[in-house]
Structure 1
């Protein structure tokens, strides 16, 4: 049995060499497909990660009415801390808010120092769970001495909507690419089978089982998938490291981060290799069905 298996392996390798440009065409189709699938998967996974980071970092900003006394501010803090699902409450004065804007936007905001400062004192409220943010914002907005309560509403919701769209359409595009690759490979292997149709018929006449006939073509498809996955794996390894080193330092300033390359790259590259093998093998099996019918 082991001898038969290795015979099938050698036969599949000879078939790859014998078919020349058809093999190159199939491998190229798999390479292009898996490269795009890998990019889509990396974008989808990181979009999901960033959306989760953004959701986890969404806090409620409770702006205090101008002219509110320190006593009323202390009372408001106590009320905020008493709301359901509130985890922490921190105070940021209008001067602190201006300093933060100056750090982010530049010294142009220095014109607004002192009495010209248009900003409000603010309480930053974090929820024990991101899903409770909206409810806390609504309750805080109804308290006395509160000018406005905001959690980034429309902008945050838009980010989550975009993230969901990226996931949905990205997965759809990846599935479509895989289908196209299976179609191309199955047609390529079908041409190979047509050129060897007489050989297959003779094998069937002498009593060869379908499994014995199918194995070399099945392995040929698997080889095409493996060869086609090599370039995407290399591109993902070096490309993702480059993007991570270029983009992640900027994201870290806002407490966001891309997925760490280590385990992520290992998993996604193994997945690409597995998809390549499945694509090639499935294309081969689909092509053989019509020729091995009784």
Structure 2
């Protein structure tokens, strides 16, 4: 297709938008509402996914060492744990350090500092893949001089199952919203094309190729998608910016945080714009296809 022809199609698509003002408004409104719903949902899901990742990263295995283990045996145990497949990092905590942490958590009023230290030294281990925590813990539990292994057995599996389920539900809902958007846009644009059915038929009969006829409609769909994305981008940017400024100060020091304003806002706004363009082009492409069969 020649560059001059492409330029003509761009001009024709813009003129068509103004000539069919109400239909353009209806199509853009449908895109706006759907993209706003999708954008808000994606914003929530991405932050929930961030929280899920933070929770997963916080999962660790506590390996209690036998009281009778000597320093050389403890060093050997550390090497053995490091050699276990799937271990990301390991931190050693002495008996005294464990006692200090316990006193810090429960206070000195319990009289722990007046007793002989009854605690065991421990290794704190994190798995490379949090979902494989149980597998790593089972391997460590079989090592020599390991008294016991603690990692929240039962609760961890339920947590991972819930997080994976929430992610899958989110993906399905987003896909359903996008499909609904494309269906609405396709039907709305089909009405616009129906009013110009005679024009399409005449162009087809005088020898115009399918792509020559289709291209202006595809461009119209692209413009409609862009117009429909402007308001959702504005609302979501305003909404997330203010929510972040209000909520984030309360989360400082906690084990999870909201996604930072940048690059998150650039990412989600770019995604909304791409979705708008995609569903606009797809809706136009699918709608005009049936009218090309003359």
Common topology (TM > 0.5): yes
Q: Distance in 2 between matches of 1:50 and 1:219?
A: 40
- Per-residue CA deviations over 1:2-43 (Å, capped at 9, x if unaligned) read 443333223322322333333222212212222222233333
SS at match of 2:46: helix
Residue equivalent to 1:107: none
Cα displacement (A) at 1:80: 5.2
Secondary structure of the structure 2 residue equivalent to 1:93: helix
Q: TM-score, normalised by structure 2?
A: 0.77
Structure 2 partner of 1:88: 91
Separation (CA, whole Å) in 2 of partners of 1:207 and 1:135: 67
CA contact (8 A) 1:29 1:228 kept: yes
Q: 1:113 to 1:273 in 2, by over 3 A?
A: same
Most deviating of 203-212 and 72-81: 72-81
| Aligned equivalent of 2:195 | 195
Distance 1:274 1:258 in 2: 24
In structure 2, the partner of 1:19 is 20
RMSD (CA atoms): 3.5
1:8–1:163: structure 2 CA closer, same or farther, 3 Å change rule? same
**Alignment partner, residue 168 of structure 1:** 168
Q: Which runs of 5+ in 2 are unaligned?
A: 83-88
Given that 1:62 and 1:141 are in contact with CA atoms closer than 8 Å, whether structure 2 keeps it comes out as no
**1:100 aligned partner:** 105
Corresponding residue pairs, total: 280
Map residues 84-233 of structure 1 onto 2, 5 A cutoff. 84-85=81-82, 87-91=90-94, 92-94=97-99, 96-100=101-105, 113-114=110-111, 121=119, 123=122, 125-127=124-126, 129-130=128-129, 133-135=133-135, 137-138=137-138, 139-140=140-141, 146=147, 149-233=149-233
Corresponding residue SS for 1:259: coil
* Residues in 2 aligned to 1:51 and 1:101: alpha-carbon distance in whole angstroms: 28
Check the 8 A contact 2:218/2:285 in 1, yes or no.
yes
Work out whether 1:269 is the aligned partner of 2:260: no
Q: What do the CA deviations read for 1:59-78 (whole angstroms, capped 9, x no partner)?
A: 2235689xx7xx76979955
| Runs of 5+ consecutive residues of structure 1 not aligned to the other structure | 103-109
TM-score (normalised: structure 1):
0.77
Call closer, same or farther: CA 1:136–1:204 in 2, change over 3 Å.
closer
Partners of 1:113 and 1:34 lie apart in 2 by 57
